[in-house]
Amino acid sequence: MTTTRPTLDDLLPIALDMTSSLTAEDRSNRLVEAVRRALPCDAVALLRLEGQVLVPLAAHGLAPDVLGRRFLRAEHPRLDIICRNAEPTIFPAESALPDPYDGLVEGDPHLHVHACLGFPLRVEGELVGVLTVDSLVPGSFDAVDKRFLAHLAALAAAALRTSDLIETLERHAQHQGQVAQDLVRDVLDRRGGFLIGTSSAIADLRREVELIAGSEFPVLVTGETGVGKELVVRTLHLQSRRAEKPLVYVNCAALPESVIESELFGHAKGAFTGADRARPGKFRVADGATLFLDEIGELPLAMQPKLLRALQEGEIQPVGTDHASHVDVRILAATNRDLEAEVRAGRFRADLLHRLDVCRIQVPSLRDHKQDIPMLVGHFSDRVRRRLGTGPIRFEADAQRGLSRGDWPGNVRELENVVARGVLRASSRSKPGEALIVRAQDLDFAGAVAARDAAPAPEPPELGGRSLRAALEDYQRTLIRTELERAQGNSAAAARALGMHRSNLHHLAKRLGLGG
Protein backbone atom coordinates (compact mmCIF):
# COMPACT_ATOMS: atom_id res chain seq x y z
CA MET A 1 0.00 0.00 0.00
CA THR A 2 1.29 3.50 -0.87
CA THR A 3 1.91 5.61 2.24
CA THR A 4 3.58 8.76 0.81
CA ARG A 5 1.48 11.84 0.17
CA PRO A 6 0.33 11.91 -3.49
CA THR A 7 1.43 14.80 -5.69
CA LEU A 8 0.58 16.04 -9.18
CA ASP A 9 3.67 14.17 -10.43
CA ASP A 10 1.75 10.95 -9.75
CA LEU A 11 -0.75 11.97 -12.43
CA LEU A 12 1.87 12.43 -15.15
CA PRO A 13 1.81 8.75 -16.32
CA ILE A 14 -1.94 8.99 -16.92
CA ALA A 15 -1.53 12.12 -19.05
CA LEU A 16 1.35 10.61 -21.04
CA ASP A 17 -0.60 7.42 -21.73
CA MET A 18 -3.38 9.46 -23.37
CA THR A 19 -0.99 10.30 -26.21
CA SER A 20 0.51 6.82 -26.48
CA SER A 21 -0.38 4.12 -28.98
CA LEU A 22 -1.99 1.57 -26.66
CA THR A 23 -4.81 -0.94 -26.85
CA ALA A 24 -7.94 -0.16 -24.85
CA GLU A 25 -7.10 -2.99 -22.42
CA ASP A 26 -3.52 -1.77 -21.88
CA ARG A 27 -4.72 1.80 -21.41
CA SER A 28 -7.22 0.73 -18.73
CA ASN A 29 -4.67 -1.43 -16.90
CA ARG A 30 -2.06 1.35 -16.90
CA LEU A 31 -4.61 3.83 -15.54
CA VAL A 32 -5.42 1.48 -12.66
CA GLU A 33 -1.72 0.92 -11.98
CA ALA A 34 -1.02 4.67 -11.91
CA VAL A 35 -3.84 5.21 -9.40
CA ARG A 36 -2.58 2.30 -7.27
CA ARG A 37 0.86 3.94 -7.05
CA ALA A 38 -0.56 7.37 -6.28
CA LEU A 39 -3.00 6.54 -3.48
CA PRO A 40 -2.74 4.51 -0.24
CA CYS A 41 -4.95 1.60 -1.21
CA ASP A 42 -5.35 -2.16 -1.45
CA ALA A 43 -7.66 -2.28 -4.48
CA VAL A 44 -8.49 -0.17 -7.54
CA ALA A 45 -11.14 -0.75 -10.20
CA LEU A 46 -12.07 1.06 -13.41
CA LEU A 47 -15.67 0.58 -14.56
CA ARG A 48 -17.43 1.79 -17.70
CA LEU A 49 -21.09 2.85 -17.50
CA GLU A 50 -23.34 1.00 -19.96
CA GLY A 51 -26.93 2.10 -19.42
CA GLN A 52 -27.52 1.46 -15.71
CA VAL A 53 -24.79 -1.16 -15.40
CA LEU A 54 -21.15 -0.62 -14.45
CA VAL A 55 -18.83 -3.00 -16.30
CA PRO A 56 -15.30 -3.58 -14.90
CA LEU A 57 -12.54 -2.89 -17.43
CA ALA A 58 -9.49 -3.32 -15.20
CA ALA A 59 -8.82 -4.02 -11.54
CA HIS A 60 -5.98 -4.47 -9.09
CA GLY A 61 -6.11 -6.15 -5.68
CA LEU A 62 -9.53 -7.73 -6.25
CA ALA A 63 -10.50 -11.34 -6.93
CA PRO A 64 -9.99 -12.28 -10.61
CA ASP A 65 -13.69 -13.04 -11.08
CA VAL A 66 -14.52 -9.32 -10.62
CA LEU A 67 -13.88 -8.71 -14.33
CA GLY A 68 -16.67 -11.15 -15.17
CA ARG A 69 -19.22 -9.42 -12.93
CA ARG A 70 -21.69 -6.64 -13.72
CA PHE A 71 -22.71 -4.04 -11.13
CA LEU A 72 -26.26 -2.70 -11.50
CA ARG A 73 -26.48 0.77 -9.95
CA ALA A 74 -29.80 0.00 -8.29
CA GLU A 75 -28.27 -2.98 -6.45
CA HIS A 76 -25.16 -1.16 -5.19
CA PRO A 77 -25.96 2.07 -3.29
CA ARG A 78 -22.33 3.15 -2.93
CA LEU A 79 -21.73 2.95 -6.67
CA ASP A 80 -25.00 4.78 -7.30
CA ILE A 81 -24.00 7.59 -4.91
CA ILE A 82 -20.62 7.90 -6.67
CA CYS A 83 -22.41 8.16 -10.02
CA ARG A 84 -24.82 10.84 -8.76
CA ASN A 85 -22.24 13.01 -7.02
CA ALA A 86 -20.39 15.72 -8.92
CA GLU A 87 -17.20 15.36 -6.84
CA PRO A 88 -15.17 12.38 -5.61
CA THR A 89 -16.84 10.65 -2.67
CA ILE A 90 -15.09 9.39 0.47
CA PHE A 91 -17.40 7.15 2.48
CA PRO A 92 -17.04 7.30 6.26
CA ALA A 93 -15.64 4.16 7.89
CA GLU A 94 -18.82 3.78 9.94
CA SER A 95 -21.07 3.85 6.84
CA ALA A 96 -23.67 1.06 6.95
CA LEU A 97 -24.01 0.93 3.16
CA PRO A 98 -22.86 -2.43 1.72
CA ASP A 99 -19.63 -2.23 -0.26
CA PRO A 100 -19.70 -3.93 -3.69
CA TYR A 101 -16.22 -5.33 -3.08
CA ASP A 102 -16.71 -6.75 0.40
CA GLY A 103 -15.33 -10.28 0.31
CA LEU A 104 -13.70 -9.68 -3.10
CA VAL A 105 -10.40 -8.38 -1.75
CA GLU A 106 -7.69 -10.49 -3.34
CA GLY A 107 -6.88 -13.69 -1.48
CA ASP A 108 -9.64 -13.92 1.15
CA PRO A 109 -13.44 -13.70 0.70
CA HIS A 110 -13.80 -12.80 4.38
CA LEU A 111 -11.85 -9.52 4.19
CA HIS A 112 -14.07 -6.45 4.19
CA VAL A 113 -13.32 -3.00 2.80
CA HIS A 114 -12.94 -0.32 5.48
CA ALA A 115 -12.12 2.78 3.42
CA CYS A 116 -13.89 3.53 0.16
CA LEU A 117 -13.19 6.35 -2.30
CA GLY A 118 -15.11 6.75 -5.55
CA PHE A 119 -14.64 9.00 -8.58
CA PRO A 120 -17.46 9.77 -11.02
CA LEU A 121 -15.81 9.99 -14.44
CA ARG A 122 -17.51 12.72 -16.45
CA VAL A 123 -16.68 14.25 -19.82
CA GLU A 124 -18.53 17.46 -20.73
CA GLY A 125 -21.06 16.67 -18.00
CA GLU A 126 -21.76 13.13 -19.25
CA LEU A 127 -21.06 10.25 -16.86
CA VAL A 128 -18.88 7.70 -18.68
CA GLY A 129 -17.72 5.52 -15.81
CA VAL A 130 -16.50 5.17 -12.25
CA LEU A 131 -13.11 4.73 -10.63
CA THR A 132 -13.12 3.09 -7.20
CA VAL A 133 -10.25 2.96 -4.71
CA ASP A 134 -10.49 0.85 -1.55
CA SER A 135 -8.39 0.14 1.51
CA LEU A 136 -8.56 -2.34 4.36
CA VAL A 137 -7.36 0.41 6.73
CA PRO A 138 -10.05 2.86 7.94
CA GLY A 139 -9.37 6.53 7.19
CA SER A 140 -6.76 5.85 4.50
CA PHE A 141 -8.03 8.65 2.24
CA ASP A 142 -8.97 11.26 4.83
CA ALA A 143 -5.71 13.20 4.47
CA VAL A 144 -5.55 13.18 0.65
CA ASP A 145 -5.79 16.67 -0.86
CA LYS A 146 -9.28 17.22 -2.35
CA ARG A 147 -7.78 19.16 -5.27
CA PHE A 148 -5.59 16.17 -6.11
CA LEU A 149 -8.69 13.96 -6.14
CA ALA A 150 -10.51 16.39 -8.45
CA HIS A 151 -7.55 16.47 -10.87
CA LEU A 152 -7.32 12.68 -10.80
CA ALA A 153 -11.06 12.32 -11.55
CA ALA A 154 -10.88 14.69 -14.52
CA LEU A 155 -7.79 13.03 -15.96
CA ALA A 156 -9.15 9.51 -15.48
CA ALA A 157 -12.41 10.48 -17.17
CA ALA A 158 -10.55 11.91 -20.14
CA ALA A 159 -8.39 8.78 -20.36
CA LEU A 160 -11.47 6.53 -20.35
CA ARG A 161 -13.23 8.62 -23.00
CA THR A 162 -10.06 8.65 -25.15
CA SER A 163 -9.84 4.88 -24.92
CA ASP A 164 -13.53 4.50 -25.83
CA LEU A 165 -13.27 6.85 -28.80
CA ILE A 166 -10.21 5.09 -30.21
CA GLU A 167 -11.85 1.70 -29.78
CA THR A 168 -15.07 2.92 -31.42
CA LEU A 169 -13.25 4.46 -34.38
CA GLU A 170 -11.26 1.30 -34.97
CA ARG A 171 -14.39 -0.84 -34.79
CA HIS A 172 -16.32 1.34 -37.23
CA ALA A 173 -13.41 1.54 -39.63
CA GLN A 174 -12.99 -2.23 -39.72
CA HIS A 175 -16.59 -3.36 -39.44
CA GLN A 176 -18.74 -0.65 -40.95
CA GLY A 177 -22.43 -1.45 -40.92
CA GLN A 178 -22.32 -3.99 -38.08
CA VAL A 179 -24.93 -4.07 -35.35
CA ALA A 180 -24.08 -2.04 -32.27
CA GLN A 181 -21.77 -3.96 -29.97
CA ASP A 182 -23.90 -3.11 -26.94
CA LEU A 183 -26.81 -5.09 -28.43
CA VAL A 184 -24.57 -8.09 -28.97
CA ARG A 185 -23.24 -7.89 -25.44
CA ASP A 186 -26.73 -7.60 -23.97
CA VAL A 187 -28.00 -10.66 -25.80
CA LEU A 188 -24.91 -12.69 -25.00
CA ASP A 189 -25.17 -11.80 -21.32
CA ARG A 190 -28.73 -13.12 -21.30
CA ARG A 191 -27.76 -16.23 -23.25
CA GLY A 192 -24.64 -17.10 -21.24
CA GLY A 193 -21.84 -14.79 -22.33
CA PHE A 194 -19.38 -16.99 -24.22
CA LEU A 195 -17.47 -13.88 -25.34
CA ILE A 196 -16.33 -13.25 -21.78
CA GLY A 197 -12.60 -13.82 -21.58
CA THR A 198 -9.23 -12.27 -22.29
CA SER A 199 -7.38 -15.36 -23.53
CA SER A 200 -5.85 -15.54 -26.99
CA ALA A 201 -8.30 -18.32 -27.90
CA ILE A 202 -11.35 -16.13 -27.20
CA ALA A 203 -9.70 -13.09 -28.83
CA ASP A 204 -9.09 -15.16 -31.99
CA LEU A 205 -12.70 -16.38 -31.89
CA ARG A 206 -14.02 -12.81 -31.65
CA ARG A 207 -11.93 -11.73 -34.64
CA GLU A 208 -13.08 -14.71 -36.70
CA VAL A 209 -16.73 -14.05 -35.90
CA GLU A 210 -16.38 -10.36 -36.79
CA LEU A 211 -14.66 -11.22 -40.09
CA ILE A 212 -17.25 -13.75 -41.22
CA ALA A 213 -20.43 -12.12 -39.86
CA GLY A 214 -20.68 -9.42 -42.52
CA SER A 215 -20.58 -11.88 -45.42
CA GLU A 216 -23.54 -13.79 -46.85
CA PHE A 217 -21.68 -17.11 -46.89
CA PRO A 218 -22.99 -20.22 -45.10
CA VAL A 219 -21.14 -20.87 -41.84
CA LEU A 220 -20.49 -24.20 -40.13
CA VAL A 221 -19.84 -23.84 -36.39
CA THR A 222 -18.15 -26.86 -34.83
CA GLY A 223 -16.99 -27.77 -31.35
CA GLU A 224 -17.58 -30.05 -28.39
CA THR A 225 -20.84 -30.15 -26.46
CA GLY A 226 -21.24 -27.15 -24.16
CA VAL A 227 -18.63 -24.84 -25.69
CA GLY A 228 -21.17 -22.20 -26.79
CA LYS A 229 -21.83 -22.93 -30.47
CA GLU A 230 -25.34 -21.47 -30.32
CA LEU A 231 -23.95 -18.25 -28.86
CA VAL A 232 -21.46 -18.02 -31.71
CA VAL A 233 -24.31 -18.43 -34.18
CA ARG A 234 -26.38 -15.73 -32.47
CA THR A 235 -23.41 -13.38 -32.51
CA LEU A 236 -22.86 -14.02 -36.20
CA HIS A 237 -26.49 -13.11 -36.84
CA LEU A 238 -26.45 -10.00 -34.62
CA GLN A 239 -23.36 -8.71 -36.42
CA SER A 240 -24.68 -9.54 -39.91
CA ARG A 241 -26.52 -7.45 -42.47
CA ARG A 242 -29.67 -9.40 -41.59
CA ALA A 243 -29.58 -8.56 -37.90
CA GLU A 244 -32.90 -6.75 -37.98
CA LYS A 245 -34.59 -9.87 -39.36
CA PRO A 246 -35.28 -12.96 -37.24
CA LEU A 247 -32.91 -15.85 -36.61
CA VAL A 248 -35.11 -18.89 -37.31
CA TYR A 249 -34.10 -21.96 -35.29
CA VAL A 250 -34.37 -25.65 -36.23
CA ASN A 251 -32.99 -28.48 -34.07
CA CYS A 252 -32.35 -31.27 -36.56
CA ALA A 253 -31.88 -33.82 -33.76
CA ALA A 254 -35.25 -33.11 -32.16
CA LEU A 255 -37.46 -33.70 -35.22
CA PRO A 256 -38.79 -37.15 -36.20
CA GLU A 257 -37.75 -38.14 -39.71
CA SER A 258 -41.42 -38.30 -40.75
CA VAL A 259 -41.98 -34.56 -40.19
CA ILE A 260 -38.63 -32.97 -40.86
CA GLU A 261 -39.31 -32.30 -44.57
CA SER A 262 -42.56 -30.52 -43.73
CA GLU A 263 -40.82 -28.61 -40.94
CA LEU A 264 -38.11 -27.35 -43.28
CA PHE A 265 -40.01 -26.81 -46.53
CA GLY A 266 -43.68 -26.63 -45.51
CA HIS A 267 -46.68 -28.54 -46.85
CA ALA A 268 -49.92 -28.02 -48.75
CA LYS A 269 -53.35 -28.63 -47.29
CA GLY A 270 -54.21 -32.33 -47.56
CA ALA A 271 -50.60 -33.33 -48.29
CA PHE A 272 -50.83 -36.07 -45.64
CA THR A 273 -53.16 -37.27 -42.93
CA GLY A 274 -53.68 -34.47 -40.45
CA ALA A 275 -52.59 -31.69 -42.83
CA ASP A 276 -55.86 -29.78 -42.50
CA ARG A 277 -54.28 -26.53 -43.64
CA ALA A 278 -51.24 -25.35 -45.55
CA ARG A 279 -48.19 -24.49 -43.51
CA PRO A 280 -45.03 -22.58 -44.46
CA GLY A 281 -41.76 -24.30 -43.56
CA LYS A 282 -38.81 -22.77 -41.77
CA PHE A 283 -37.12 -21.85 -45.06
CA ARG A 284 -40.16 -19.76 -46.04
CA VAL A 285 -40.34 -18.17 -42.58
CA ALA A 286 -36.64 -17.29 -42.86
CA ASP A 287 -36.96 -15.75 -46.33
CA GLY A 288 -34.83 -12.59 -46.26
CA ALA A 289 -33.46 -13.59 -42.86
CA THR A 290 -31.20 -16.28 -41.35
CA LEU A 291 -31.88 -19.97 -40.70
CA PHE A 292 -29.98 -21.75 -37.92
CA LEU A 293 -29.73 -25.51 -38.43
CA ASP A 294 -28.58 -26.82 -35.06
CA GLU A 295 -27.20 -30.38 -34.77
CA ILE A 296 -26.90 -30.56 -38.56
CA GLY A 297 -24.96 -33.81 -38.22
CA GLU A 298 -28.18 -35.53 -37.10
CA LEU A 299 -30.07 -34.70 -40.32
CA PRO A 300 -31.38 -37.95 -41.90
CA LEU A 301 -29.51 -39.02 -45.02
CA ALA A 302 -32.72 -39.11 -47.09
CA MET A 303 -33.37 -35.44 -46.37
CA GLN A 304 -29.89 -34.23 -47.26
CA PRO A 305 -30.35 -34.00 -51.10
CA LYS A 306 -33.39 -31.71 -50.64
CA LEU A 307 -31.44 -29.49 -48.25
CA LEU A 308 -28.57 -29.42 -50.75
CA ARG A 309 -30.92 -28.22 -53.50
CA ALA A 310 -32.23 -25.46 -51.26
CA LEU A 311 -28.67 -24.33 -50.55
CA GLN A 312 -27.48 -24.56 -54.15
CA GLU A 313 -30.49 -23.14 -56.00
CA GLY A 314 -32.32 -21.24 -53.29
CA GLU A 315 -35.43 -23.27 -54.20
CA ILE A 316 -37.82 -25.16 -51.96
CA GLN A 317 -40.78 -27.39 -52.76
CA PRO A 318 -43.42 -27.83 -50.04
CA VAL A 319 -44.74 -31.36 -49.44
CA GLY A 320 -47.81 -32.02 -51.58
CA THR A 321 -47.06 -29.40 -54.25
CA ASP A 322 -45.59 -29.75 -57.74
CA HIS A 323 -43.94 -26.40 -57.99
CA ALA A 324 -40.83 -24.88 -56.44
CA SER A 325 -40.45 -21.37 -55.07
CA HIS A 326 -37.39 -19.22 -54.48
CA VAL A 327 -36.20 -18.07 -51.06
CA ASP A 328 -33.34 -15.82 -49.91
CA VAL A 329 -31.96 -17.46 -46.76
CA ARG A 330 -28.55 -17.36 -45.11
CA ILE A 331 -27.64 -20.67 -43.50
CA LEU A 332 -25.80 -20.99 -40.19
CA ALA A 333 -25.27 -24.57 -39.02
CA ALA A 334 -23.74 -26.13 -35.91
CA THR A 335 -22.64 -29.62 -34.91
CA ASN A 336 -20.50 -31.43 -32.35
CA ARG A 337 -19.93 -34.31 -34.77
CA ASP A 338 -16.87 -34.87 -36.95
CA LEU A 339 -18.64 -34.45 -40.30
CA GLU A 340 -15.63 -35.65 -42.31
CA ALA A 341 -15.81 -38.92 -40.38
CA GLU A 342 -19.58 -39.02 -40.98
CA VAL A 343 -18.95 -38.65 -44.71
CA ARG A 344 -16.47 -41.54 -44.66
CA ALA A 345 -19.02 -43.65 -42.77
CA GLY A 346 -21.67 -42.89 -45.39
CA ARG A 347 -23.95 -41.01 -42.97
CA PHE A 348 -23.44 -37.53 -44.41
CA ARG A 349 -23.19 -36.39 -48.02
CA ALA A 350 -19.84 -34.95 -49.06
CA ASP A 351 -21.47 -32.42 -51.43
CA LEU A 352 -23.70 -31.11 -48.63
CA LEU A 353 -20.70 -30.75 -46.32
CA HIS A 354 -18.84 -28.78 -48.98
CA ARG A 355 -21.87 -26.51 -49.45
CA LEU A 356 -22.21 -25.86 -45.69
CA ASP A 357 -18.49 -25.58 -45.02
CA VAL A 358 -17.78 -22.37 -46.93
CA CYS A 359 -16.73 -20.74 -43.66
CA ARG A 360 -15.99 -22.83 -40.59
CA ILE A 361 -15.62 -21.60 -37.02
CA GLN A 362 -14.17 -24.01 -34.47
CA VAL A 363 -15.22 -23.00 -30.95
CA PRO A 364 -12.43 -23.84 -28.46
CA SER A 365 -13.04 -26.15 -25.53
CA LEU A 366 -12.80 -24.65 -22.05
CA ARG A 367 -9.58 -26.56 -21.35
CA ASP A 368 -7.98 -24.50 -24.17
CA HIS A 369 -8.71 -21.20 -22.39
CA LYS A 370 -8.71 -22.04 -18.70
CA GLN A 371 -7.36 -18.61 -17.83
CA ASP A 372 -10.85 -17.27 -18.56
CA ILE A 373 -12.46 -19.43 -15.87
CA PRO A 374 -12.33 -16.77 -13.08
CA MET A 375 -14.12 -14.23 -15.30
CA LEU A 376 -16.72 -16.80 -16.35
CA VAL A 377 -17.26 -17.77 -12.72
CA GLY A 378 -17.86 -14.13 -11.81
CA HIS A 379 -20.31 -13.75 -14.70
CA PHE A 380 -22.24 -16.92 -13.86
CA SER A 381 -22.28 -15.98 -10.16
CA ASP A 382 -23.99 -12.72 -11.00
CA ARG A 383 -26.61 -14.52 -13.09
CA VAL A 384 -27.33 -17.01 -10.31
CA ARG A 385 -27.51 -14.22 -7.72
CA ARG A 386 -30.18 -12.43 -9.74
CA ARG A 387 -32.18 -15.64 -10.16
CA LEU A 388 -32.02 -16.70 -6.50
CA GLY A 389 -32.14 -13.23 -5.00
CA THR A 390 -29.13 -13.90 -2.74
CA GLY A 391 -26.64 -11.45 -1.27
CA PRO A 392 -23.16 -10.95 -2.79
CA ILE A 393 -21.47 -14.21 -3.84
CA ARG A 394 -17.81 -14.85 -3.01
CA PHE A 395 -15.57 -17.91 -3.59
CA GLU A 396 -12.98 -19.15 -1.12
CA ALA A 397 -9.47 -19.64 -2.49
CA ASP A 398 -9.78 -23.46 -2.48
CA ALA A 399 -12.99 -23.22 -4.49
CA GLN A 400 -11.37 -20.90 -7.03
CA ARG A 401 -8.40 -23.22 -7.39
CA GLY A 402 -10.66 -26.25 -7.83
CA LEU A 403 -12.61 -24.52 -10.59
CA SER A 404 -9.45 -23.40 -12.39
CA ARG A 405 -7.92 -26.89 -12.24
CA GLY A 406 -10.99 -28.79 -13.44
CA ASP A 407 -10.95 -30.75 -16.71
CA TRP A 408 -14.45 -29.57 -17.75
CA PRO A 409 -15.46 -32.22 -20.29
CA GLY A 410 -18.85 -30.44 -20.47
CA ASN A 411 -17.08 -27.12 -21.11
CA VAL A 412 -18.67 -23.74 -20.33
CA ARG A 413 -22.13 -25.23 -19.86
CA GLU A 414 -20.81 -27.62 -17.20
CA LEU A 415 -18.97 -24.77 -15.47
CA GLU A 416 -22.17 -22.72 -15.33
CA ASN A 417 -24.10 -25.65 -13.85
CA VAL A 418 -21.43 -26.35 -11.23
CA VAL A 419 -21.34 -22.69 -10.18
CA ALA A 420 -25.16 -22.61 -9.93
CA ARG A 421 -25.28 -25.76 -7.77
CA GLY A 422 -22.42 -24.53 -5.59
CA VAL A 423 -24.14 -21.22 -4.96
CA LEU A 424 -27.41 -23.01 -4.19
CA ARG A 425 -25.68 -25.20 -1.59
CA ALA A 426 -23.84 -22.24 -0.07
CA SER A 427 -27.10 -20.29 0.20
CA SER A 428 -28.34 -22.75 2.84
CA ARG A 429 -25.70 -21.36 5.23
CA SER A 430 -26.55 -17.67 4.85
CA LYS A 431 -29.47 -15.45 5.74
CA PRO A 432 -31.27 -13.43 3.02
CA GLY A 433 -29.13 -10.49 1.92
CA GLU A 434 -25.94 -11.72 3.61
CA ALA A 435 -22.73 -12.33 1.69
CA LEU A 436 -22.66 -15.92 0.49
CA ILE A 437 -19.34 -17.82 0.63
CA VAL A 438 -18.89 -20.76 -1.77
CA ARG A 439 -16.48 -23.39 -0.44
CA ALA A 440 -14.65 -26.16 -2.28
CA GLN A 441 -16.96 -28.77 -0.78
CA ASP A 442 -19.94 -27.01 -2.37
CA LEU A 443 -18.62 -27.84 -5.83
CA ASP A 444 -19.53 -31.28 -7.20
CA PHE A 445 -17.55 -32.04 -10.32
CA ALA A 446 -14.73 -34.41 -11.16
CA GLY A 447 -12.12 -31.66 -11.33
CA ALA A 448 -12.88 -30.48 -7.80
CA VAL A 449 -12.34 -33.97 -6.40
CA ALA A 450 -9.17 -34.37 -8.46
CA ALA A 451 -7.85 -31.02 -7.27
CA ARG A 452 -8.45 -31.90 -3.63
CA ASP A 453 -6.90 -35.34 -4.05
CA ALA A 454 -3.87 -33.87 -5.83
CA ALA A 455 -3.13 -31.55 -2.93
CA PRO A 456 -3.63 -33.56 0.29
CA ALA A 457 -3.02 -31.87 3.59
CA PRO A 458 0.72 -32.07 4.44
CA GLU A 459 1.84 -34.12 7.40
CA PRO A 460 2.40 -32.00 10.52
CA PRO A 461 6.09 -31.57 11.44
CA GLU A 462 7.58 -33.28 14.46
CA LEU A 463 8.70 -31.07 17.35
CA GLY A 464 12.28 -32.41 17.43
CA GLY A 465 13.05 -30.72 20.73
CA ARG A 466 11.53 -27.39 19.67
CA SER A 467 8.69 -25.58 21.33
CA LEU A 468 5.27 -25.79 19.69
CA ARG A 469 5.53 -22.17 18.57
CA ALA A 470 8.96 -22.68 16.99
CA ALA A 471 7.75 -25.78 15.16
CA LEU A 472 4.72 -23.92 13.83
CA GLU A 473 6.88 -21.02 12.65
CA ASP A 474 9.23 -23.42 10.84
CA TYR A 475 6.21 -25.01 9.21
CA GLN A 476 4.91 -21.61 8.12
CA ARG A 477 8.32 -20.72 6.65
CA THR A 478 8.33 -23.96 4.63
CA LEU A 479 4.84 -23.37 3.26
CA ILE A 480 5.57 -19.74 2.31
CA ARG A 481 8.87 -20.62 0.61
CA THR A 482 7.16 -23.46 -1.30
CA GLU A 483 4.34 -21.26 -2.60
CA LEU A 484 6.73 -18.42 -3.50
CA GLU A 485 8.87 -20.85 -5.50
CA ARG A 486 5.78 -22.22 -7.28
CA ALA A 487 4.68 -18.66 -8.06
CA GLN A 488 8.21 -17.74 -9.22
CA GLY A 489 8.45 -15.00 -6.62
CA ASN A 490 5.02 -13.50 -7.32
CA SER A 491 3.82 -12.62 -3.82
CA ALA A 492 0.22 -11.95 -4.92
CA ALA A 493 -0.07 -15.41 -6.50
CA ALA A 494 1.57 -17.04 -3.47
CA ALA A 495 -0.86 -15.22 -1.18
CA ARG A 496 -3.81 -16.47 -3.22
CA ALA A 497 -2.51 -20.03 -2.99
CA LEU A 498 -2.16 -19.67 0.79
CA GLY A 499 -5.65 -18.17 1.09
CA MET A 500 -4.51 -14.84 2.56
CA HIS A 501 -4.13 -11.22 1.53
CA ARG A 502 -0.80 -10.16 0.05
CA SER A 503 -0.16 -7.53 2.74
CA ASN A 504 -0.80 -10.16 5.44
CA LEU A 505 1.64 -12.50 3.73
CA HIS A 506 4.20 -9.70 3.61
CA HIS A 507 3.88 -9.02 7.35
CA LEU A 508 3.96 -12.72 8.26
CA ALA A 509 7.03 -13.37 6.07
CA LYS A 510 8.79 -10.40 7.64
CA ARG A 511 7.99 -11.63 11.14
CA LEU A 512 9.33 -15.08 10.26
CA GLY A 513 12.59 -13.59 8.99
CA LEU A 514 11.94 -14.25 5.32
CA GLY A 515 12.53 -10.67 4.28
CA GLY A 516 8.90 -10.08 3.04
pLDDT tens readout for residues 279-301: 888 999 999 999 999 999 999 99
Q: Measure the CA–CA gap between 148 and 468, rounded to whole angstroms.
A: 50
pLDDT of residue 476: 79
Strand partners, 116: 91, 134
Give 326-375 pLDDT, tens digit per residue: 999 999 999 999 999 999 999 999 999 999 999 999 999 999 999 999 99
Q: Which pLDDT score is estimated for 338?
A: 95
Q: How far apart are CA 9 and CA 228, in angstroms?
A: 47
Of 101, 16, 14, nearest to 54 by C-alpha is 101
pLDDT in tens, 89-126: 999 888 889 899 988 888 677 778 888 999 888 878 88
* Percent share of the chain, pLDDT over 70: 82
**Rounded to whole angstroms, what are the CA distances from 248 to 222, 288, 336?**
19, 11, 20
Task: Please give the average per-residue pLDDT across 444-456, as a whole number.
Answer: 54
Ranges 35-44, 167-176, 199-208, 233-242: which has the least confidence: 167-176
Whether 322 has a pLDDT exceeding 60, the answer reads yes
Q: Bigger pLDDT: 257 or 409?
A: 409
Nearest to 78 by CA among 111, 45, 123, 29: 45
Q: Reply yes or no on whether the pLDDT at 172 is more than 60.
A: no
**Pairwise CA distance, residues 14 & 33, whole Å:** 9
Q: Work out the number of other CB atoms within 10 angstroms of the CB of residue 254.
A: 11
Beta strands at 266-267 and 247-251: parallel, antiparallel or unpaired: unpaired
**Residue 163 pLDDT > 70:** no
Type of residue found at 34: A
Indicate yes or no: pTM above 0.95: no
Q: Are 20 and 134 in contact (CB under 8 A)?
A: no
Q: Using the predicted structure, report yes or no on whether residue 219 has a pLDDT greater than 80.
A: yes
User: Shortest CA distance to 20 belongs to which of 8, 35, 30, 11?
Assistant: 30
Mean pLDDT calculated for residue range 429-439? 84
Domains plus CATH for the chain? 8-173 (3.30.450.40), 183-364 (3.40.50.300), 388-454 (1.10.8.60), 468-511 (1.10.10)
Give backbone dihedrals phi and psi of 286, rounded to 5 degrees, phi first: -90, 10
Find the helix packing angle between 491-498 and 468-486, rounded to 10°: 130
Please tell me the least confidently modeled range out of 55-64, 120-129, 189-198, 255-264. Answer: 189-198
> Across 159-163, 220-224, 486-490, which has the greatest mean pLDDT?
220-224
Instruction: Report in angstroms the alpha-carbon separations of 401 from 238, 375, 381, 398, 451.
Output: 35, 13, 16, 5, 8
Whether residue 188 has pLDDT greater than 50: no
Write the CB contacts of 4 (distance below 8 Å, at least 6 apart in sequence): none
Q: Cα 250 from chain centroid?
A: 27
Confidence at residue 11, expressed as pLDDT on a 0 to 100 scale: 60
**Which region holds residue 247: left if phi is over 0, alpha if psi is between -120 and 50, else beta?**
beta
The distance from CA 377 to its chain's CA centroid, rounded to whole angstroms, is 8
